[in-house]
Amino acid sequence: MNAHETDVALPPALEGQPIERMTRDGIEYVVLGTAHVSRASVEAVQALLEREHFDAVAVELCASRAHGIRDPEAFKQMDLFEVIRQGKAGMVAASLVLSSFQKRLAAQYGIEPGAEMKAAMDGADQRGTPIWLVDREVGTTLKRAWRSVGFFQRFGLLAGMLGSVFEREDIAEADIEKLKQSDLLESAFSEFATGSAPLYRALIAERDEYMAARLREHAARMDVGEGKRVLVVIGAGHLKGMTEQLRTQQADPASTADVLAQTPAASPWPKWIAFGLVLAIFVAIGFAFHRDASLGADALKNWVLFTGGLAALGALAAGGHPLSIVAAFIAAPLKPFRPGIPAGGISAMAEAWVRKPRVVDFENLRDQITHWSGWWKNRVARTLLNFFLVSIGTIAGEYIAGIHILRSLI
């Protein structure tokens, strides 16, 4: 904070805090960079609100994250069947992995990540000050990050996410210090974000641009008068990039935000490659029948056993009910004739139908998934785990079956 901004000494809560002040389009922005796991950041937010007048408070949250912070029990209303049917199981599982990372921080350092955002919203409510939610929806960010990287890097991301589930050690002090200077999403995927320009752009740079555009969009609706001021509470990792965007951005803010809020269309090549592989396998099976009926029968048996067997093994590894294991075994070989819900989705829906999640499962979900065994104990988490492992088993089975079938014809 600049010394000329006030004639009185800074309160201890604001000393050394990263604060930028700038004016754009007649509105003064006071931008506070926070650490998501620091009590000092909570105190800095409270001190600024008590010390200065603001006409609006902007926070680095999207609507869903703000709702989750204000109503931690909201996820209990989740319709698991609908999540699976709409193909959102992956996004929900990724959000839960992120949640388990946050919970580990909370348990280790005694403060909930995002507490400074809650303090900003609560302080604004107490003063009757409008709240601006300026971050992009976390689901959109995760989808854009996923689609920004190549096929093999996606497997690295999956491995990193699964590895974090089995991680039992406390988060190192050095990693905590890094978190205080970065973004929560970047830190959760730090191993990949730092080494991938597309991933860094999706997780950090795009959001800097988006938040600056959203601030300008909100500001355009204000009655600009004498001394209009906005407090902006964002993670320290966004302070430099977002303020630079706010200073220099010239494009229409609504158009900029709309473009960055779009989920890019998935590349058709993975689907075409998968379709081509399955088509080649079935052509090979047909050719095997043409050459010799017993050879064709063996090829078909290999297809059923490998795809169905590895899918069923995935359900078994997830601790699935026998019915969900059978569903996986039946659904996987029929995948080419059954477009739509994947084998993992059918098995997961069978699991959710037989072992309906109880109220206690939703109540304990966030706490149980902080330990790897909780993914098997909790019925909600186990259903999502079933979806993933069956899907992985099905894909592995297709490749292995294809290799065996083609080898038998050579």
Angle (CA) 371-374-375 rounded to 5° is 110
Take residue 313 and report the two structure tokens written for it.
Answer: 């093994």
Q: Is the pLDDT reported for residue 410 higher than 80?
A: no
Q: Is the pLDDT reported for residue 325 higher than 90?
A: yes
The mean predicted confidence, pLDDT, of the chain is 80
For residues 369 and 374, give the distance between their C-alpha atoms in angstroms, rounded to a whole number: 5
Asked if residues 89 and 384 have their Cβ atoms less than 8 Å apart, the reply is yes
The listed range with the strongest mean pLDDT (63-77, 127-141, 329-343) is 127-141
The alpha carbon of 367 is separated from its chain's Cα centroid by a whole number of angstroms, namely: 18
With CA atoms as reference, report the closest residue to 68 among 123, 131, 138.
138
DSSP characters over 125-192? HHHT--EEE-SPPHHHHHHHHHHHS-HHHHHHHHHHHHHHHH--SPPPHHHHHHHHTS-HHHHHTHHH
Report the pLDDT averaged over residues 270-283. Answer: 76
Strands 19-24 and 27-34: antiparallel
Phi-psi region of 132 (alpha: psi -120 to 50; beta: other; left: phi over 0): beta
User: Model pTM greater than 0.85?
Assistant: no
Report the pLDDT averaged over residues 306-322. Answer: 94
Q: Please state which of the ranges 97-111, 228-242, 267-281, 389-403 shows the lowest mean pLDDT.
A: 97-111
Count other Cβ atoms within 10 Å, centred on residue 384: 26
For residues 48 and 43, give the distance between their C-alpha atoms in angstroms, rounded to a whole number: 9
Q: Which long-range contacts (CB under 8 A, 24 or more apart) does 292-296 make?
A: 295/408, 295/409
Q: Please state which of the ranges 153-157, 188-192, 303-307 shows the lowest mean pLDDT.
A: 188-192
Q: Is the pLDDT reported for residue 1 higher than 50?
A: no
Q: What is the CA radius of gyration of the chain?
A: 25
Q: Is the pLDDT reported for residue 251 higher than 90?
A: yes
Buried b (16+ CB within 10 A) or exposed e, 150-189: eeebeebbeeebbebbeeeeebeeeebeebbebbbbbbbb
Q: Give me the amino acid identity at 16.
A: G
- pLDDT for 201: 86
Q: Is the pLDDT reported for residue 377 higher than 80?
A: yes
Q: How far apart are the first and last CA of the chain?
A: 74
287 or 324: which leads in pLDDT: 324
- pLDDT for 179: 54
73 or 45: which leads in pLDDT: 45
Angle (CA) 37-39-45 rounded to 5° is 105
With CA atoms as reference, report the closest residue to 406 among 274, 272, 285.
285
Asked if residues 21 and 2 have their Cβ atoms less than 8 Å apart, the reply is yes
With CA atoms as reference, report the closest residue to 130 among 239, 218, 251, 199.
218
Q: Name the residue with tokens 């992956």.
A: 90
Q: Give me the amino acid identity at 191.
A: E
Take residue 399 and report the two structure tokens written for it.
Answer: 């490749």
For residues 103 and 105, give the distance between their C-alpha atoms in angstroms, rounded to a whole number: 5
Report the pLDDT averaged over residues 35-51. Answer: 86
With CA atoms as reference, report the closest residue to 93 among 363, 345, 396.
345
* Close Cβ partners of 248 (under 8 Å, ≥ 6 residues apart): none
- pLDDT for 7: 45
For residues 224 and 282, give the distance between their C-alpha atoms in angstroms, rounded to a whole number: 67
With CA atoms as reference, report the closest residue to 214 among 246, 188, 173.
246
